[in-house]
Structure 1
Amino acid sequence: MPSRSEIHYFGAGPAPLPTSVLERAASVLLNYDNQGIGICEISHRSAAATKILSDAKASLAQLYDIPEDYEILFLQGGGSGEFSAVVYNLVARWVERRRQRAVAELGEGKGSEVLERLKNEVRDELKLDYLVTGSWSLKASQEAARLIGKEHVNVAVDARKANEGKFGKIPSEAEWTRSTRPAFTYFCDNETVDGVEFPAFPSVLEGADDDTPVVADMSSNFISRAVDVRKYGVIFGGAQKNVGNAGITILIVKKSLLTPMAAPTLLQQLSLPVGPIVFDWPTIAKNNSLYNTLPIFDVWVAGQVMQSLLDTFGAQKIAGQESVANQKAELLYGVLDAHPSVYRVVPDKAARSRMNICFRVHGGDDAREKEFLAAAEKRGLTGLKGHRSVGGMRASNYNAVSLEAAQKLAQFLQEFASS
């Protein structure tokens, strides 16, 4: 049986966790804080659980320099759950803002007139903009269309149209067909399946206000590079890539987006969906993420991972981890690019992900790719098989993947290409 130190895992998620965190986790599972019971057994409403939650929030706020006017929520349902929650919450807010404006202009006691006006505005003006640059943003846009109707979903960019029907590029912003005043603009900052990452915050989204907030799915590049939180209305991510184990979703949301929200009865009158209470951000915020039973162990793991970054990089915070991530990615892409007859990096160079390095071996030849995977596993290099929907290879370069692991993979890539 190989030891943990002999295996270098590059799986896309659940992803590796720092060994030091797992060692502490093994201890607290049996006896947390000398209480005689394990961390999974303590009440989620106990003082100990509240402190775990508070510490995790504080670590994240410090890492990202999150302003006071933002809320940090811990939820369940993963990133896919937030595909739905974003629609439920931000459409409800859009409707309520429109209702208040209608009441101010038409006057009190004009309920039927207000309702008729809202029906017309929903029909003619409600638009959700989606930047579809990979498999996950595509799924998010499809969920929005399922919930409120495809006529309300504007795919401002479909990257497949610029790449022969496949994902792998991010078209120029000049080619995007954005709505005039969308209820929100949604993009996936890093596409795990397709190896595509936005190199920077889209310039055309600069200056977005509370009526047109920017929503970013950062599930697979969370806490891997510096982010100016103030440019976003909502940032969310599943924990199981860079932050912790599967079980929690972390949401950073501007507090002003938590109110006001349309009443469920009004949404029903407008034929708009009413979301489950566990996806209702204001409810979760009012209850300090404890409306229902939160998996406190998962929060503890995430908090430990985030605190370890603070301990490691000090004043550099996320910028320190970003430097390491860039170094590992440059090392691997450098070897791949040096052997074009053996390796073909799938995404366009301008949109290459630092987190998920996707490539084909010998043009995607099935036998040669199986040979590659078998040889890699003999070296203790595992988790390199690409997503089932696209095939090929994928080396996920998450925070817990060490520089040593990246160096060993680079050496193997070099040797395989020369064999």
Structure 2
Amino acid sequence: MSRVYNFCSGPAALPEAVLEKAQSELLDWHGAGVSVMEMSHRSDEFVSILTSAKARLSRLLNIPDDYEILFAQGGASTLFAQIPANLTHGFDRACYLDTGAWSSKAIKEAKKYTDVILSGSSKEQNYTTVPDFDALTLDEKAAYLHVTPNETIGGLEFDALPDTELPIVADLSSTILSRQIDVSKYGLIYAGAQKNVGPAGVVINIIRKDLLARSNNAVLPTVWSFETLAKNDSMINTPPTFAIYLADLVFEWLEAQGGVAAMEKINIEKAELLYSAIDQSDFYSNPIDMQYRSRMNVPFVLADASLEATFLEESERAGLRTLAGHRSVGGMRASIYNAMPKSGVEALIEFMSSFEKRYG
């Protein structure tokens, strides 16, 4: 078997140690005689997995006691609608920051449930930078402020948050567990697992407990209610059991690496190596404002766009998989999440240098 370096933006690479452990436990989990995929979600065995996953995530992110961890289905895109459906009960508007493709999708869905105040947008700058936080339009009587701190498609990332008393709702799908954050600054964090946590199929919600009371259960679909999901320990119905199990294995792996602080150092190093290779070349370029370049998703283009297809064909043959940019923007994109080793980034840089020498 030959493993390649997988630069896919999601479903993304998983740590090999996690895959190997899952493989060893696939037919018989801890002597239970069955696979996790075959267990009842109500069984003591699976409840222990869910409890472990919540405890490990809480330790990794230093989640305060006044927050609830929810594992749900549907992915982050479902949350684009589920969030306003839950959190705008008793409010008639919500604030949104528009920084790229994913925040734009969230805005479109929110408009089906509430009036949206566009607090700021970098659309006129082709989403290559972040709006000036000092010039944002913030209504302190709105339900919340929604932000997307990492725009996976565009390769833009920011870690500072606007100064507001509004609950901040953040889509951290691409950045969760890759860098240290202060959870207490957020009202709700949500993240699709298939980038930095595990396989597709589960979405993580970290919500401040006082916000659970906003769920209007008289009109909400039962499985959409944050309050009901919390009261049922993420098990209103059958949860994505195997995805939660794999998430727990990833959390265990992260703890063994030294936690989020250790991973952040590695991620900074990987990103700096790749951006340096791009910046030192006239053959490659990255369009994003340097102070807002993503550590997780690195888009780049060739000076001669006609060589892109050749670049992708040859990189695939070299064992560098899924480097094509999103279909909406083209070019190339290297997603270098936690599971991407430094050696993978070095292999990509070596290939890029070789390709430039041959075609530059």
- TM bucket (normalised to shorter chain) is over 0.9
Match of 1:3 in 2: 2
Distance 1:194 1:258 in 2: 32
Match of 2:118 in 1: 155
Match of 1:318 in 2: 260
Q: Is the 8 A contact 2:152 2:297 kept in 1?
A: yes
Instruction: Return the match for 1:400 from 339, 342, 354.
Output: 339
**Aligned-pair distance for 1:239?**
0.4
Given residue 19 of structure 1, which amino acid in structure 2 is its aligned partner? E
Match of 1:414 in 2: 353
Match of 2:292 in 1: 351
Distance 2:239 2:160 in 1: 32
Match of 1:215 in 2: 169
CA deviations 1:18-52 (Å, max 9, x no partner) are: 11111121232211121221110010000011100
CA deviations 1:325-361 (Å, max 9, x no partner) are: 110000000000001x211202121211000001111
* Structure 1 pair 311–388 and aligned structure 2 pair: CA distance change class (3 A): same
Distance 1:135 1:349 in 2: 19
1:202 aligns to 2:149 (yes or no): no
1:361 aligns to 2:320 (yes or no): no
Distance 1:343 1:71 in 2: 44
Identity %: 41
Instruction: Return the match for 2:75 from 63, 73, 78.
Output: 78
SS in structure 2 opposite 1:29? Answer: coil
Runs of 4+ displaced beyond 3 Å: 260-263
Instruction: Return the match for 1:335 from 277, 296, 316.
Output: 277
**Aligned-pair distance for 1:260?**
4.9
Is 255-264 or 169-178 further displaced after alignment?
Answer: 255-264
1:386 aligns to 2:313 (yes or no): no
Distance 2:246 2:217 in 1: 36
After the TM superposition, which residues 16-27 of structure 1 pair with which residues of structure 2 at under 5 Å, given as runs?
A: 16-27=13-24
1:283 aligns to 2:228 (yes or no): yes
Instruction: Return the match for 1:259 from 213, 237, 256.
Output: 213
Instruction: Return the match for 1:306 from 213, 234, 251.
Output: 251
Is 18-27 or 391-400 further displaced after alignment?
Answer: 18-27
Distance 2:273 2:215 in 1: 48
Distance 1:404 1:261 in 2: 46
Q: Is the 8 A contact 2:217 2:225 kept in 1?
A: no
Unaligned runs of 5+ in 1: 96-121, 265-273
Q: CA RMSD in A?
A: 1.3
Q: Is the 8 A contact 1:85 1:275 kept in 2?
A: no
Q: Is the 8 A contact 1:362 1:369 kept in 2?
A: no
Q: Is the 8 A contact 2:215 2:226 kept in 1?
A: no
SS in structure 1 opposite 2:273? Answer: helix
Distance 1:192 1:77 in 2: 18
SS in structure 1 opposite 2:163? Answer: helix
* Structure 1 pair 229–156 and aligned structure 2 pair: CA distance change class (3 A): same
Q: Is the 8 A contact 1:196 1:347 kept in 2?
A: yes
Given residue 132 of structure 2, which amino acid in structure 1 is its aligned partner? S
CA deviations 1:97-116 (Å, max 9, x no partner) are: xxxxxxxxxxxxxxxxxxxx
Higher helix share: 1
**Aligned-pair distance for 1:263?**
5.6
Q: Is the 8 A contact 1:225 1:318 kept in 2?
A: yes
Instruction: Return the match for 1:139 from 92, 105, 109.
Output: 105
Distance 2:263 2:44 in 1: 32
**Aligned-pair distance for 1:84?**
1.1
SS in structure 2 opposite 1:15? Answer: coil
Distance 1:146 1:27 in 2: 46
TM-score, length of structure 1 as denominator length: 0.83
Match of 1:374 in 2: 313
CA deviations 1:257-292 (Å, max 9, x no partner) are: 11254463xxxxxxxxx4321111110100001110
SS in structure 1 opposite 2:111? Answer: helix
Distance 1:305 1:279 in 2: 26
Q: Is the 8 A contact 1:218 1:236 kept in 2?
A: yes
Instruction: Return the match for 2:238 from 274, 293, 298.
Output: 293
Unaligned runs of 5+ in 2: none
Say how many residue pairs are matched: 358
**Aligned-pair distance for 1:418?**
2.6
SS in structure 2 opposite 1:251? Answer: strand
Is 26-35 or 216-225 further displaced after alignment?
Answer: 26-35
Distance 1:61 1:263 in 2: 27
Q: Is the 8 A contact 2:72 2:202 kept in 1?
A: yes
Distance 2:221 2:338 in 1: 33
Given residue 274 of structure 2, which amino acid in structure 1 is its aligned partner? L
Instruction: Return the match for 1:173 from 123, 133, 140.
Output: 133
Distance 2:215 2:314 in 1: 56
SS in structure 2 opposite 1:259? Answer: helix
